Structures are given as structure tokens and as C-alpha cells.
Amino acid sequence: MRIRYRVAVWSGLLLAALVAAVLASATIGPVELRVPVVAKAALNAIGIPVGFETSISTASIAGMSVPWPTVDVQYAYPFAFQIAPTSELIVRSIRLPRIVLGATVGFALGGAGAVMQGFFRNPMADPSIIGVSTGAAVGAVATIAVPMAVPFGLQTAAFIGAVVTAFVVYLLATEGGRTPVATLLLAGVAVQTFLGAVVSFLLLQSGESLEEAVYWLMGNLYGAGWADVGATLPAIAVLFLALVPFARDLNVLMLGEEDAQTLGIPVEWTKRLLLGLSSLLTAAAVAVAGVIGFVGLIVPHVMRLIVGPDHRLLLPTSALAGALFLVVTDTIARANPQVLPVGIVTAALGAPFFLFLLRRREVHEL
Amino acid sequence: MSEPLLSVSDVSAAFGDARVLDSVSLAVQRGEFVGLVGPNGAGKTTLLRTINGVRDPDEGTVSVDGDRQADCSAREWSRRVATVPQDTSVSFSFRVADVVEMGRAPHRRRTQFGTTETDRRRIEDALELTNTADMRDRPIDELSGGERQRVFVARALAQDTPLLALDEPTASLDINHQVEILRLVRELVGEGRAALAAIHDLELAARFCDRLALLSDGEIRAAGPPESVLRSEALDPAFETTTATATNPVTGTPIVTAGAGDETAMDGIDGDDAQRVHIVGGGHAGARAIATLREAGHEPSAGVLRDGDLALETAQSLHTPVASTPAVGPADPDAIAAAHDLAADAAVVVFADADIGPRQWTLDLAEGAPATVLIETRPLAERLHAGERARDRYERLRERSVTADLNTLPSAVETAVTTATRPADD
């Protein structure tokens, strides 16, 4: 009871803060809007799925036409406040998608970070530790630099790059059905270094599109639309919900793998599952937003200081705090007269804050 | 005998080419506390890891209550065997109650987020039994080693299994906490529960366990009640040393001294200088004298010693010739005669703090010797139970003897021998 109560209270508080941040963020931009206007526009944008239709269309993959099932979801919009059409357009089509996408990406990175740090029992672990981000970067930069060579869209390529890299690192570190965590970390670092070289080489080849590639690498939510949200949010929600039942297993794993085994956790199977889910979560986020550093590292650390190491509480609070953090930092990035990739803001604000914690509150270990 | 709770049969395990367990069989009954003893590297931890399911045996089977480990999932097995790990250091600030709650992991459903009524009852019982209830909200990483060990025992109890496996539960604890933990396990065993613990300290193992199993080089060398396992015949080859065993006067359980009478001791003397030495007097002084002289490479004999005397047990476990007599009543004349035979054979007689009774036979034994060494740790008045004539005899003995304490005894024996042979050279 006690833990459920704590989870409910903390999640409620963070959720309220997140909603407030979203509304506040939507008021900021070249056109200043007031909170009530933004709130009404946001409510108007809320759609409740009421039904769906499936149809078969054809998609072109690698030059071939493949039948592809399409799901058309119908939404009902319960709110219809009267506000100025331009304000509604700004909020609903420009600002909200970007803010919601930022929240979704932050949610995924914060949650995946909490899982990775617990899983690796290592304070330096973040969602990109096993090469997910660098893999995504290879896919994305390759699409930008040599579009002919890549048969997919940028986000698909980034997602595939991320997942393939995580899988390769996992295979490299696995021997005889066992995947020692230290080996996984080292294999991840080595593969990241190698892929870093690949990215640098691709950048050299990118010519005109260098700027675009660099922007992507810095992490960017610019130009996000509802389509991005539609592709990312459901996937991230499902992956996160799949992780929640394993929060207690993560707690037990923190005491050591042998201990976990004697407490009935099928260790290797659980590790594989946690690694797979958190890699997919990271890949889904990175594919739409580029490499946004530090969120997955710093947010779980801060939340662990506040709520303690119990993953039943740490996992949802880290995810929500990640969302909050990214909404705030992206607002700063957006409000800047010069277009600033959000990755620069998260790192520029996150690193000094982390150092402050390191000195003051003794974040020496998990 | 009923079917054992735990039965390990013909279990072998190897790390690469190194065979760590060689066809080990072991049974633990319900209500039993069995200690696994043996030198480092004997395979104790590997055996425990095979039993708790962390490692699969290369050959053989492990079963609890008739269920084979190989047929059980990790979760099913963790409802049968709970483990208290050797290393209980935790670097995360989980609360004590959280750690104990983890013991309920084998019993919860995947969809269960909090704790059930049964969970809470088991956790409370475990906290209560291990005396950790008042530290439930403290972070585990702020506890002392002994407290942490108790918390992990509580976690194992919350797991609610018939068998507890403990890997060196007393390692790195102060002696008060060592005793506390083993006493706790002792109390918990029973009511259908059993415990198997690897214990480094032989005497603690003997004191708290019902049975011991001595493991060395991956094989069980001896198994049974502590008195039957902690015998030099079994211990010496296992630990590759010479041991002396005796009974602890406080607990009545075996005590073991390693390196006693070790003929390869560094300050040992050559065979040529080895002397036959007879020791008169028992108790602490007698026992130390026997062991010290044996260690220095001499050939001690002793007597007359009473049954139950510390020195008698020391002599017996070191295979030292000894004349003995019943614990009460006057000394058996045959035993005194036997002691005279032993003393007659000796170059030196050590009068080790011996009592002098009305018949003064202890003085008789010393006076007949070519050389004597006196050890006086208790004042004569305490030891003298005879008249003035006995005191005079003792004074005369003291005048012609070398006086020594227990630490200088071996060199005093050599001095006595040289002094005694010098007049003959004149």
C-alpha cells in the first residue's frame, strides 16, 4: 500500500508540473499568447480515439512495392472552445506537437536511463551506453549524407541503426548464454568508438548537407509535427508499460546477479528483456529527436536522490521528470533568437547541475 | 530415518580442467543445522552454489523434498532454498524493510505491484525473529556488518523456504556477532526447516551445528556429529597440518588447534637433539607443555593425567604416550607405575605446575629423572596438599632443576639436558 501511495503522489505531482510546463511553454514564442488561450487551444486539440478502419495500401521498401496495412484511427474532439484561429493554429499545429514530442522523448530517455543505470549497476550508464544513439546517428547521417544508399526515411534509418547496433553489441558480449554486464559495457564503448569514426567519415562525405547532419547529431525537435508524435508516443507508451512489471526485478538485480538468481529471477532472460525494451525505448526517442545527451544520465540520478533506489518509484518518476526536463530545455532552445538544438541546452544546463550534485549531495554511486 | 529434506547425490563440478567437486553426496534432514567445513578452495562455496541453483552441476543431482533442481525453474527453486550470501555489502540506499521484502520475490505474481497480506506477515515475522524490526526504516548501506548479515538472514526467512543455505555467514564479523548469527540460525532451524552453512571457524561450527561435513579437494572426507568429524585423523590430511583437539571447558564442544606439534615448525630442532621428555602435571600448563615440546620437535609423554583433563585430550590428539586415571578418586597405582615407566625412558622430566598429593607420587616421578624442569605458574601453597616433608622435597627438587615458563620451555629442556650431562664429563 505504502509504495503504491508514494508512486501515486509523486507521479501526480510530476504530472501536474509537466502539464503546467507544457502550457507555459506553449505561451512562449515569436507570438506571445496568454495561458487561458493556450489552455483552450490545448483542450481543443485533445482527441479521443473512437474507432478505426484498416486498409491495405502499398509501401515502397527498397524499391519494391509491398502491401502495407494502414490503420486509420477516428478521433472525437470533446472540447470546442472559441478562440482566435491564428492562436489556435500556432498552438495546435506548431507549438504543441513539438512540446508533446519533447515530453515523449524526455519520458523515454528518463525511463530508459533509470533502467540502464540499475541494470548496469553503474552510475555512468545512460540509454546510449550500448551504442543505441551512435547506431541511430550512423543511420540518420547516412540518410542525410548519401541518400541514394539508404532506402528508408531518416527516422526509420535511425531507428534501424539503433536497434541493429544494440543487438550487435549484445551478441558481442554474450558467450555461452551469459552476458556479463562489464563485458556489455566495454563492448558498447568499443562499438560506439567505431561507429563514431563511421559518423565522422560520413560527415566528411556529406558536402552540402553537413549542416543538417550536424543539427541532427546535436539533438533537435525543430519542425516536429503530429505525425512524429503519432509514430512515437504509442510505441513509447507500450514499451514503458512493458517495463513497469519488471521494476521489482530491477531492485533485486541491483543486489547482484547471483543474489537475484537465488531469489527466483531468471537472470539472463530478465537482462535480455530489460536490455531489449530499454534499447527500443531509446531508439524510438533518438530516431525522432536525434542525439539528446545527458537526459537519460542526469534525470535518474536526481530522482534517485529524491525518491530513493526503489525502481517501482524511480522508473515512473524518472520518466516524468525526463519529460519535464526536456520540455523546459526545449522551450529555452525555442525561445532563443538563434535556432538552438535542444541537445546543446540539455548538456549545457545538465552538466553543471550534475557537477553541483556531485559535489554537494555526494552522487558518488548509484 | 525419514526422507532427507536436501539430498545431494554424486555431484561433480569443474571449472575448465579443474575439478572442484568430485562425486559429493550429502543429506540434510529437516530440523538439522549442518556445517560445511574445510580449507579454502575445498569447494564449499561451489557446493552451496550448486545447491542454491546458481550453478548447475556437471554431474549428479540436487533435490529438495524429492524435487530435482534440474526440473525446477529459478522461481520454483527459490521457494525451496533461500541463500544468505557471503558478501552482504550493498551500495544502494534500500531501506532494511525493502531488502527483506525482496525475499518475497519468489512468491509474487508478475502483475503484483505492492505486497499482499501474506507478504506483510512473513516480512514482519522475519524482522521480528532476526531482531531487525527496529531498524526497518534505516538505509541498508548505513548498517554494520553484523546488522546487515541479520537483515539478509531476515530476507532469507521472508522467502519462506524449507532450506537455508548460508555461505560463510560469520566471515568478516566480530566474534560477538559471529556467535549471534549462528545462534540465530540455530534457533530458526526446526519446525521442518533446515540449514546448511559453510563455516570457516571449526570451533564455532562444532558449537552450533548438529552435524558437520568436512570437505577437502572436492570430496567429503568425514561427516557426522562434530566430535566425530573434528578429529586429527580427518583434519590433518584435509588442512595439511597437525591439529590438536580437545574439549572446550565452557561449551563442552570440540576445540581445534592447528599447527600443534608440527614437526616442520620453523624453530624445530634436528632429530639428533630431540629428547624424550616426560611431563608431570595437567590442566592448562600440562597441555601447553605437551604441545610446545611436540612443536619444538621433542618426544613428550605425560602422566598421570585424569580423564577429562585438558592435557589428557591434548596428549591423545597429538598421539603422545600418556598414563591416565579416572577423573575422581585416588590415582590408579597401575597408572602411576605406567607413568614411572614413561619417565624412566625420558631424559628430562618437566614438573608442570603439578599438584602434590598426600602420597606425593608426582614428586616421585620427578626425583627419579636425570634432569628436571620446573614450571611454576600457580603458587606452591595452592598445589601442596601434603605436609612439611613434601615442601622440603619440592624445595630440593627446585634447587637442582631448571625453572622455566611455558614460553621458554623448549630451551629450558635443552639447558637441563646439558647441565645434567656435564658432571659425567668431569
Q: Which residue has the higher pLDDT, B408 or A95?
A: A95
Q: Does A45 reside within a domain?
A: no
CB pair distance less than 8 Å for B105 and A310 = no
Q: Does domain B271-425 have CATH number 3.40.50?
A: yes
Assess if residue A260 is contained within a domain: yes
Under 8 Å between Cβ of B205 and B198: no
Residue B400 is classified by DSSP as: T
Distance from CA of B297 to the nearest CA of A (A): 48
**Which residues contact residue B120 at a Cβ distance below 8 angstroms, ignoring those fewer than 6 apart?**
none
| Whether A254 contacts chain B with CB within 8 A | yes
Interface contact flag, B49 A258, Cβ < 8 Å = yes
The alpha carbon of residue B237 and the mean position of all alpha carbons in its chain are separated, in whole angstroms, by 16
Whether residues A259 and B90 touch (CB distance < 8 A) is answered with no
Grid cell locating B233? 585423523
The predicted pLDDT at position A63 comes to 65
Report which of B166, B227, B223, B238 is spatially closest to residue B25, judged by C-alpha positions.
B223
**Higher pLDDT, residue A238 or B402:** A238
> Phi-psi region for residue B283, left (φ > 0), alpha (ψ -120 to 50) or beta?
left
Assigned domain for A250 exists: yes
pLDDT band at B163 (very low <50, low <70, confident <90, very high): very high
**Minimal Cα distance from B112: which residue of A?**
A245
Query: Which one of A249, A262, A366 has the shortest CB-CB distance to B78?
Result: A262
Of all residues in chain B, the percent with pLDDT exceeding 90 is: 28
User: A99: domain CATH number?
Assistant: 1.10.3470.10
Domain that holds residue A250: 2-30+92-360
- Please state the domain extents for chain B: 6-239, 271-425
Q: Report percent pLDDT > 90 for chain A.
A: 40
List the single range of A187-196, B212-221, B408-417 with lowest mean pLDDT: B408-417
Asked whether residue B320 carries a pLDDT value surpassing 80, the answer given is yes
- Name A297's Cβ contacts closer than 8 Å, sequence gap at least 6: A113, A124, A125, A126, A350, A354
Whole-structure pTM over 0.80, yes or no?
Answer: no
Q: Do A245 and B110 touch (CB under 8 A)?
A: yes
Does the residue A11 lie in any domain? Answer: yes
**Is the confidence at residue B394, as pLDDT, over 70?**
yes
| Residue B272: pLDDT band with limits 50, 70, 90 | low
Q: Is-same-fold flag (B6-239; B271-425)? A: yes
Question: What average pLDDT does chain A have?
Answer: 87
- The number of folded domains in chain A is 1
Reported as a single tens digit per residue, the pLDDT across B90-139 is 777 889 999 999 999 999 887 777 788 899 999 999 999 888 999 999 99
Q: Is residue A185 domain-resident?
A: yes
ipTM of model: 0.80
Cβ neighbours of A3 in B, within 8 Å: 113-115
The answer to whether residue B151 scores a pLDDT higher than 90 is: yes
Residue type, B125: D
pLDDT digit string, tens, across residues A245-261: 999 999 999 888 889 99
* Predicted local distance difference test score (pLDDT) of residue B77: 94
Assess B91–A contact: CB distance below 8 Å, yes or no.
yes
- Taking the CA atoms of residue A253, residue A254, residue A257 and residue A261 in that order, the dihedral angle to the nearest 10 degrees is -40
How is residue B322 written as a grid cell? 600418556
pLDDT at position A62 is 62
Dump pLDDT digits (tens) for A35-76.
888 888 888 888 787 877 777 777 666 667 777 777 777 888
- CB of A5 closer than 8 Å to CB of A312: no
The listed CATH number (1.10.3720.10, 3.20.20.70, 3.30.70.2740, 3.40.50.300) that belongs to domain B6-239: 3.40.50.300
- Using an 8 Å CB-CB cutoff, list chain A residues near B115: 1, 3
The one-character DSSP state at B193 is: B
Confidence of residue B88 (pLDDT cuts 50, 70, 90): confident
pLDDT in tens, A185-206: 899 999 999 999 999 999 998 8
- Which grid cell is B159? 522467502
Residue of A117, A263, A306, A313 to mutate, interface with B, max B Cβ within 10 Å = A263
